[in-house]
Amino acid sequence: MLRFLVRRTLGAAVILFLLSIVAFLLFFGMPRDPGLLMCGKTCTPANLANIHHVLGLDKSIPEQYWIFLHNLVLGSNGFDQGPCPAPCFGYSYHTNEQVWGTLMDRLPTTVSLTLGAAVCFLFVGLGTGMLSAWKRGTLVDKTVTAGAMVLSSMQIYFLGPLALAALVYQSHLFDKPAYNDFTADPVSWFTGLIIPWVILSTIFASQYTRMARSSMIEQLQEEHVRTARAKGMSRRYVFFRYAWRGSLIPIVTIFGIDLGALLGGAIITEYTFGLPGLGKLAVESVNFSDLPLLLGVMLFSAAMILLFNIIVDACYAFIDPRVRLS
Amino acid sequence: MSEDVEKDVTAGATTLPAPRAAAGEGSAEPLLVVDKLVKHFPVKGGFPVRRTIGAVQAVDGIDLTVHVGESFGLVGESGCGKSTTGRLITRLLEPTGGRITYRGRDITHASRKELAPVRSEIQMIFQDPYSSLNPRQTVGKIISAPMEINGIDPTGGREKRVRELLEIVGLNPEHYNRFPHEFSGGQRQRIGVARALASEPKLIVADEPVSALDVSIQAQVVNLLQEVQRELGIAFLFIAHDLAVVRHFSQRVAVMYLGKVIEVGDRGSIYTRPRHPYTHALLSAVPEVELEASGKPPRERIRLAGDVPSPISPPSGCRFRTRCWKAQDKCAQEEPPLVRLSGNKDGHLTACHFPEDPTTEARDEDIVLDPALAALEDAAEGQ
Amino acid sequence: MTTSTKESGAVAPAAPGAFLSVRDLYVRFKTEDGVVKAVDGLSFDLERGKTLGIVGESGSGKSVTNLTILGLHNPMFTSVEGEIVLDGQELITARESELEKVRGNKAAMIFQDPLTALSPYYTVGRQIAEPFWKHTGASKKAAWERAVEMLGKVGIPNPRQRAKDYPHQFSGGMRQRAMIAMALVCDPDLLIADEPTTALDVTVQAQILDLLKNLQQEFGSAIVFITHDLGVIADMADDIMVMYAGGAVERGTVDQVLRSPQHPYTWGLLNSMPRLDSDLDTPLAPIPGAPPSLLRPPSGCRFHPRCTFQAEVGGARCVDELPLLPPGRGGACHLTAEQKQTIFVEQIKPRLR
């Protein structure tokens, strides 16, 4: 198992490396010149060349990439803005802030948003999905299925503003969504995020409801589940001990992918509610052709997805002894 | 559906030919010669870099000869390598070693191009009539595909030929435009046979062609294959685990165990005068219907212990020795060669250091190697 | 047609000595294509300690019947009518909690494919111990000990260690042994074995069949043994019931059914099956056609579209009227006893050499 994890981690490092190359090449393929954006209205060729020099854009692409890698691993003191310890993605072209510092500033927002929502949608989704499977064919099942169908076809940019309009601007029942530091003020942290959580998890939960339901129903038709019933084990026992165990595999898989993707930045949600998370940062970095920031956000998101892929694989081993013992 | 049933009635019963002076048995011209054929599937593992750490020795040096027009049976239990052998011969798998010679031509490692003229002459029939036919193609398209691939243009056109083939296999030629799902399992297997016949093969490798079918349907397909073999003089490599079906269909039979041929001979020798202990055990394990108190001597009773060992690390020497009641030190050290033992008929070869008597009649004492079974039987006797 | 089947259901009441008694069983599945008449008016009895072999092809209703006995069908899509009495207890109308006390305790099942029938998530020992603690109220530790004991009994070497293994670490034959241990752990009076050796190799099948026979002696269970293989049934059963298209077409003792069969379908099965000692010059005589769809079973005798002896009966009787299966020995066929005797002796028996 440990070997497996080590092998997977090495593999993930290789993927990140390749990804950084692709990102580099894509950036230089972009039609916009970041120097021009910084140069302002009174741009002379000499100014532009100077900016290019300061940003290091006058060097060849491989050379720039080498410097990027070197800084990332060993850190650098070669920046005008100040020292940059490893992992160093350099300084943002746009804000002149250290990229890693910016990422770490934005991360708590995304983590709070994602984990809060994930707890909600996992419990609500699995709960309703399993209830639906348990009561298969009844009115409860049909109601849950229909509700999940409707909600899963909703979009954040539709439900989000709707909720804001109804719950915040019209009735003033809730605070305007905002990120407040948890350690400083847990209550306002909670009240500031409650609407984004509910909206984000509504949409995700409906998918988990459907997945949990179909996965449970599929498992309940497995032969080993029938064997357990044939032994006289109660319906409840068989449902929670036998069918539930097998239905976890697809759920964990999707949950891992979703969580990894969300932690890399819930772009639409953050935009809709104006939360300063990684997703918002990613869009900003593209808008300003901010290479260091773009690379930072992108590799961080990718690392999250890869990390959760590895966690999912490790979970398989806990769930299924066939994985563990082979 | 009911009209199809009508069709099958005629196909099953009336078109059965009088066995033509047994096509296979007389001719001794070799069609296919398999020489020390080996197929190892690599087992991956290791750390930190995955590499090949072992091999599943699926087929480990077997020799076979199939003559023109004969039906050659290959029997054995799961994991013995019989299906792999079939796939090697049709070159669906690449052999690890050894030689496959078809009509004097080495096709062991022949490229696609070199293989082209031979491909049409060696066809395969698969076990599962449900997954071996493309559900999106009409029957006509499925059956004419081998003609297209091999560039065969029969007089009168391909469609006419397909209709003929449908008739030969006992299906209604009108069903040309139907899809596989409209047919029952037995009928689908007939479509598989028609497809195999389309390129006018000289050898058909049939891998468990009837084992997925119901008993009453099995006989229809066995009869059809027998008809094809005799009428058209096509040689068969008939791979099956059902010993009675193989006996019914094949003139010569090879018994495989863990990637080796352990006994081969004409069917009379294998079924009534077996020498290898495994052949004895296999035959004795077949549950038989005694249709009347026949006065025939009862059959011997041999109950082996456990299952077949893993082909990843097969036992040294004779591979059957771990389950054999006659095994001695020699069996572990020396692999017995496949040879003609004294008292065996010509062509009856056995790979055993301590062969059994050539009879399947009951012994003085049953051979019960399974410890749990032996304990229960002793207890029952003691009462 | 429906009316004629209903009438035919009027069979004698449960035999007094019967331990398991099935009367007029009808099982129907609702599917998207219509209603499948999986079991259509089936009755049979089984005495304590005896083995009843049920033989039939896929779709004959043999497996469905036995799932229904323990109420393991899906009630959402299945309707069951009739009477199933196990040791005086009516099971069709029984509450789920009552059935749970019967299952695995008084009546246990063995399934065809032990790899899919055992849970991959729990150890073999736990899966065997579960019904024991459930039904006897024993502690989990005592149940584990019992599981180890049972594994030893069915011939798993080193049972204390192997009980901690998962099913995928067992070979095919060992898995089926574990399945048998699981079925016998509460010493059931009835064992339902649904094609228990079909997925196994022939040498392993022989071990398992002999093991089952010997364990039956020790545990004294009655067995319902379902298979498509006449050879297996000849080896295992005391009585045979032949099923076709949802109904029983013939029943009797093993000797009666195999040596003097009375139904054209049984004749067909015997004639289409190659044997190790059959005459090689006689080609197999297959049953023409294919088993019918149970969405629209044939009218009258369900075997009539494939039967070659309709003319002997004369008229349209086979098409119009469902023949009755008499209680005890007999076959459900319109041919007269003399006709059956003549046909069997003159046309069928000579082929069985």
Per-residue pLDDT at C30 exceeds 70: yes
Residues in chain A with CB shorter than 8 Å from the CB of C134 are 231-233
How far is Cα B133 from Cα B171, in angstroms, rounded to an integer? 16
- Measured between CA atoms, the residue of chain C closest to residue B305 is C207
The percentage of residues in chain C with a pLDDT greater than 70, rounded to a whole number, is 95
Average pLDDT over residues C183-212: 93
Strands (E), C78-207: 78-86, 89-90, 107-110, 190-194
Residue whose C-alpha is closest to residue C266's, from C200, C325, C180, C211: C325
How far is Cα C118 from Cα C109, in angstroms, rounded to an integer? 12
Residues in chain C with CB shorter than 8 Å from the CB of A246 are 120-121
Residues in chain A with CB shorter than 8 Å from the CB of B47 are 3, 6-7
Q: A182-186, B39-43, C218-222 — which is least confidently predicted?
A: A182-186
> Which pLDDT value is given to residue C57?
87
Judge whether B218 and B164 are in contact, CB under 8 Å. Answer: no
Per-residue pLDDT at C213 exceeds 90: yes
Query: Partners for C (CB, 8 Å, 3+ pairs)?
Result: A, B
pLDDT per position as a tens digit, A67-86: 888 888 888 777 777 788 87
Q: C30-44, C49-63, C272-286 — which is least confidently predicted?
A: C272-286
How far is Cα B372 from Cα C152, in angstroms, rounded to an integer? 8
Q: Which one has a higher pLDDT value, C254 or B16?
A: C254
Query: Best interface-test mutation with C: which of A134, A224, A239 has the largest number of C CBs within 10 A?
Result: A224
pLDDT per position as a tens digit, C314-330: 888 899 999 989 888 99
How close, in Å, is residue B40 to chain A by CA atoms?
21
Residues in chain C with CB shorter than 8 Å from the CB of A217 are none
C-alpha pair distances (Å), A104 with each of A272, A297, B326, C301: 22, 11, 74, 80
DSSP character string of B309-331: PPTTSPPSSSTTGGG-TT--HHH
Judge whether B323 and B358 are in contact, CB under 8 Å. Answer: no
Q: A131-135, B379-383, C227-231 — which is least confidently predicted?
A: B379-383
Strands C239-244 and C247-253: antiparallel
Residues in chain A with CB shorter than 8 Å from the CB of B51 are none
- Measured between CA atoms, the residue of chain B closest to residue C214 is B376
What's chain A's average pLDDT? 87
> Which pLDDT value is given to residue B212?
85
C-alpha pair distances (Å), B232 with each of B202, B224, B270, C307: 9, 12, 27, 31
How far is Cα C72 from Cα A61, in angstroms, rounded to an integer? 68
How far is Cα C351 from Cα C283, in angstroms, rounded to an integer? 9
The β-bridge partners of C109 are: C192
> Which pLDDT value is given to residue B27?
52
**DSSP category for residue C169:** G
Average pLDDT over residues A301-306: 90
> Which pLDDT value is given to residue C16?
62
> Which pLDDT value is given to residue C14?
52
Contact at CB, A321 and C120, closer than 8 angstroms: yes
Contact at CB, B47 and A7, closer than 8 angstroms: yes
Residue of C211, C229, C283 with shortest CB distance to B372:
C211
How close, in Å, is residue C318 to chain A by CA atoms?
39
Per-residue pLDDT at C124 exceeds 80: yes
Residue whose C-alpha is closest to residue A249's, from A313, A310, A308, A306: A313
Q: Which one has a higher pLDDT value, B247 or A6?
A: B247
Strands B122-125 and B105-106: unpaired
Rounded-to-10 torsion of CA C134, C140, C144, C150: -20
Residue type, B119: R
pLDDT per position as a tens digit, C290-311: 888 888 899 999 999 999 998 8
pLDDT per position as a tens digit, B135-176: 999 999 999 998 988 888 888 888 999 999 998 888 888 889
Please name the residues in contact with A192: beta carbons below 8 A apart, sequence gap of 6 or more: A175, A176, A177, A178, A179, A180
> Which pLDDT value is given to residue C11?
47
Token pair listed for C57: 């092809």
Residues in chain B with CB shorter than 8 Å from the CB of A1 are none
> Which pLDDT value is given to residue C21?
94
Tell me the CB-side half-sphere exposure of residue B243, using CA atoms within 13 A.
26
Burial class (CB in 10 A: 0-12, 13-18, 19+), C249: buried
Residues in chain C with CB shorter than 8 Å from the CB of A226 are 72, 111, 117
Query: Best interface-test mutation with A: which of B47, B51, B312 has the largest number of A CBs within 10 A?
Result: B47
Per-residue pLDDT at B291 exceeds 90: no
Contact at CB, C119 and A228, closer than 8 angstroms: yes
> Which pLDDT value is given to residue C6?
38
Phi and psi torsions of B381, nearest 5°: -70, -40
Give C106's pLDDT tier (boundaries 50, 70, 90).
very high
* Chain A CB within 8 Å of residue B17 CB: no
pLDDT per position as a tens digit, B45-61: 776 677 788 889 999 99
Contact at CB, B247 and C276, closer than 8 angstroms: yes
Per-residue pLDDT at C250 exceeds 90: yes
Per-residue pLDDT at C5 exceeds 50: no
The percentage of residues in chain B with a pLDDT greater than 90, rounded to a whole number, is 56
Token pair listed for B4: 């199809």
What's chain C's average pLDDT? 90
Average pLDDT over residues C136-163: 95
**DSSP category for residue B170:** T
Cα-based angle C31, C35, C36 (whole degrees, multiple of 5):
90
> Which pLDDT value is given to residue A326?
65
Token pair listed for A219: 């498992």
Does the interface ipTM go beyond 0.85? yes
Q: Which one has a higher pLDDT value, A157 or C249?
A: C249
Per-residue pLDDT at B4 exceeds 50: no
Contact at CB, B244 and C293, closer than 8 angstroms: no
The residue with tokens 């009844």 is A138
> Which pLDDT value is given to residue C100?
94
Judge whether C235 and B287 are in contact, CB under 8 Å. Answer: yes
How far is Cα B347 from Cα B52, in angstroms, rounded to an integer? 39
Burial class (CB in 10 A: 0-12, 13-18, 19+), C337: exposed
How close, in Å, is residue A232 to chain C by CA atoms?
4
- The terminus-to-terminus CA distance of chain A in angstroms comes to 9
Give B290's pLDDT tier (boundaries 50, 70, 90).
confident
pLDDT per position as a tens digit, A34-69: 777 777 777 788 888 888 887 778 888 888 888 888
> Which pLDDT value is given to residue B20?
39
Torsion over CA: C267, C272, C275, C280 (sign): positive
- How many C-beta neighbours within 10 Å does residue B346 have? 9
The percentage of residues in chain C with a pLDDT greater than 90, rounded to a whole number, is 69
Residue of C100, C117, C120 with shortest CB distance to A234:
C100
Residue of B9, B217, B303 with shortest CB distance to C210:
B303
> Which pLDDT value is given to residue A295?
86
How close, in Å, is residue B49 to chain A by CA atoms?
8
Query: Best interface-test mutation with B: which of A1, A2, A3, A326 has the largest number of B CBs within 10 A?
Result: A3
> Which chain C residues have any C-beta within 8 angstroms of a chain A C-beta?
70, 72, 76, 96, 100-105, 108-109, 111, 113, 116-122, 130-131, 134-135, 166, 168-169, 179, 182
* Chain A CB within 8 Å of residue B47 CB: yes
Query: Partners for A (CB, 8 Å, 3+ pairs)?
Result: B, C
C-alpha pair distances (Å), A306 with each of A15, A23, A237, B317: 9, 17, 36, 49
Residue whose C-alpha is closest to residue C246's, from C41, C11, C2: C41
> Which pLDDT value is given to residue B294?
65
The percentage of residues in chain A with a pLDDT greater than 70, rounded to a whole number, is 100
How close, in Å, is residue B98 to chain C by CA atoms?
29
Q: A190-194, B333-337, C144-148, C204-208 — which is least confidently predicted?
A: A190-194
Per-residue pLDDT at B1 exceeds 50: no
Judge whether C222 and C191 are in contact, CB under 8 Å. Answer: yes
Whether the ω angle into residue B48 lies within 30 degrees of 0, i.e. cis, is: yes
Most confident of A103-107, A191-195, B211-215, C162-166: C162-166
The residue with tokens 């293994």 is C165
Strands C89-90 and B122-125: unpaired
> Which pLDDT value is given to residue C181?
96
> Which pLDDT value is given to residue B21?
39
Per-residue pLDDT at B17 exceeds 50: no
